[in-house]
Amino acid sequence: MKRTFSRQQKTTIVFGILSIAVMLVILQLWLLTATMNAYLAHQERVIIPAAIASILCFALNLGLLSYIYRMERR
Partner 1 sequence: MKSPDQLSVPPDGRPYHDQPQWRNDFPIDWPQDEFVARRDFTKFLVLTSFAFVVGQLWITVQNFFRKRKGALPIVRITRADAIPVGGSLVFAYPAAHDTCIVVRTGAQQYFAYDQKCTHLSCAVVPDLAHGRFHCPCHNGSFDLRTGIPTAGPPRRPLERILLEIRDGDLYAIGREVRA
Q: Look at residue 69 and give its three-state secondary structure.
A: helix
- Under the criterion CB under 8 A, does residue 34 sit at the interface with partner 1? no
**Helices 7-40 and 47-73 meet at what angle, rounded to 10?**
170
Residues 50 and 55: their CA atoms lie apart, in Å, by: 9
User: Which one, 1 or 8, has the nearer CB to partner 1?
Assistant: 8
- Name the residue nearer to partner 1 (CB basis): 1 or 31: 31
The reply on whether position 39 binds partner 1 by CB under 8 A is yes
CA angle 8, 5, 74 (to 5 degrees): 125
Residues of the shown chain interacting with partner 1 in the complex, contacts defined by CB under 8 A: 6-8, 10-11, 14-15, 17-18, 21-22, 24-25, 28-29, 31-32, 35-37, 39-44, 47-48, 50-51, 54-55, 57-58, 61-62, 64-65, 68, 72
